[in-house]
């Protein structure tokens, strides 16, 4: 894979930030850095320190290690967004959404 760890972290920070409805400015405020630095991170031009990665994870409500995860290049973009949306949610909420999805899929396959 051609992506380096800075690019991977940057793409994930952007994905989770957007999924949480945060601007670069708001995330920067939450983690005590400049918004231009968040921009550098998201473009893969800078590598966050471990401390900053932990603060960003906290602000985005995800484990910092998730920000370093590399999905395959051919992963569905909507699936990536759904994963980002579910990351950090409690298991009760995730199980509820799973049951709703299963009921939906069963109902659509039975009507076909």
pLDDT in tens, the chain (112 residues): 446 889 999 999 999 999 899 999 999 999 999 999 999 999 999 999 999 999 999 999 988 988 998 866 566 777 777 877 787 778 888 888 888 888 887 888 754 4
Span 5-111 CATH architecture: Orthogonal Bundle (1.10)
Domain positions in the chain are: 5-111
- Cβ atoms 19, 77 nearer than 8 A: no
Concatenating the DSSP letter of every residue in 5-69 gives HHHHHHHHHHHHHHHTT--HHHHHHHHTS-HHHHHHHHTTSS---HHHHHHHHHHHTS-GGGGG-
Q: How far apart are CA 61 and CA 84, in angstroms?
A: 10
- Cβ atoms 8, 51 nearer than 8 A: no
């Amino acid at each position: 894979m051609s992506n380096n760890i800075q690019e991977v972290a940057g793409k994930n920070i952007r994905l989770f930030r957007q999924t949480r409805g945060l601007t670069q400015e708001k995330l920067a405020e939450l983690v005590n850095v400049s918004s231009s630095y968040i921009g550098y991170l998201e473009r893969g031009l800078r590598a966050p320190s471990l401390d900053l990665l932990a603060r960003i994870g906290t602000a985005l409500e995800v484990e910092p290690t998730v920000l370093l995860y590399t999905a395959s290049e051919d992963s569905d973009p909507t699936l990536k967004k759904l994963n980002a949306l579910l990351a950090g949610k409690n298991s009760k909420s995730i199980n509820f959404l799973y049951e709703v999805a299963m009921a939906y899929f069963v109902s659509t396959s039975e009507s076909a």
